[in-house]
Amino acid sequence: MPSSPSAGRRFALVAVCAATAVTVAAAVTAVVVLNGEGDGADTPASGSAGWKTVVNPRHGTAFEVPPDWEVKSSDVFYGFSDHADPDKPVVGHTAPAFYKYKWCSVDSDGDGRISDFALAGTGTKGGDGAKSADEVARKTATAWVYGAYTQPDKDAVTWDEPVEYTTKSGVKGSYVKARSKGAKRTGKCASEGRAVAFGFKNAKGDFVAWDFYGKTGVPGAVSDELVMKILSTVRLSGEPTG
């Protein structure tokens, strides 16, 4: 099985007929296309001029990213699989947006297949049974750091205590910041990294999480100031379809 130059392996591009039917493969660009309703319409509420709106009908959420970010369709799923079991996802989200989507590209095992690694990404995911905003924020932030940057070393993931937060639109929840520290890193595209996750309830009353993950210690790494500005734009957007 091909190996990835970073800690985690990413999901392959797969078209499926239902949101529950997901086929996974290892060490290829991590995009899964789900059967969805499209991006829908949403009115930008709190970002800067020229920012792009990212809508997730599945979870009934929206947020904004800067003009130079690449926004994928709302029916795209992106995530990282288990280093020991490529068919097992560690973490993922839908309706993703990326900063420098092809920041680093590598043929990790010489088979001619190129894997592209983004400098940073963001999206929204479900709460996976979490009972509080604190819980979903902590679990989401640490899962992204582990999945993307530290596998198989869970001890290399550190995180802060949850912080209560209200977005500009009035969505209340908690965010957690997590980071990698001292994980063994090999390969051209490997680096330390971090994640921020904001847990909150959608219009159905279900806990969901907006998340950001990105490389650290490299040129052009996304600043904490920008991450928090993106977080401030998170809002509810219609009735969730998922």
pLDDT digit string, tens, across residues 217-228:
999 999 999 999
Percent of the chain with pLDDT over 90: 66
Instruction: For residue 90, give the 3-state DSSP assignment.
Output: strand
- Report the amino acid identity of residue 82: D
Instruction: For residue 144, give the 3-state DSSP assignment.
Output: helix
CATH topology (fold) of 9-236 = Protein Transport Mog1p; Chain A (3.40.1000)
Q: What angle do CA 39, 228, 204 make, to 5 degrees?
A: 45
DSSP string covering 145-174: HIIIIITT-GGGEEEPPPEEEE-TT--EEE
Structure tokens at 42: 């949403």
pLDDT, position 84: 86
pLDDT, position 46: 55
Query: Does residue 195 surpass a pLDDT of 80?
Result: yes
pLDDT, position 15: 23
Structure tokens at 172: 């209340």
CA distances from 139 to 46, 60, 181, 191 (A): 27, 20, 17, 21
For residues 29 and 10, the answer to whether their CB atoms sit within 8 Å is yes
- Report the amino acid identity of residue 22: V
Span 72-78, average pLDDT? 94
Query: Does residue 162 surpass a pLDDT of 70?
Result: yes
pLDDT digits (tens, 9 = 90+) for 110-161: 777 888 889 999 999 999 899 999 999 999 999 999 999 999 999 999 999 9
Mean of per-residue pLDDT scores for the chain: 83
Whole-number Å distance between alpha carbons of 77 and 65? 18
Query: Does residue 58 surpass a pLDDT of 50?
Result: yes
> What are the φ/ψ torsions at residue 240 (nearest 5 degrees)?
-60, 140
Query: Does residue 2 surpass a pLDDT of 50?
Result: no
pLDDT, position 241: 92
Q: Nearest-CA neighbor of 175 among 222, 124, 228, 137?
A: 137
pLDDT higher at 84 or 10:
84
Span 63-88, average pLDDT? 92
Lowest mean pLDDT among 57-61, 79-83, 201-205: 79-83
Sign of CA dihedral 138, 144, 150, 151: positive
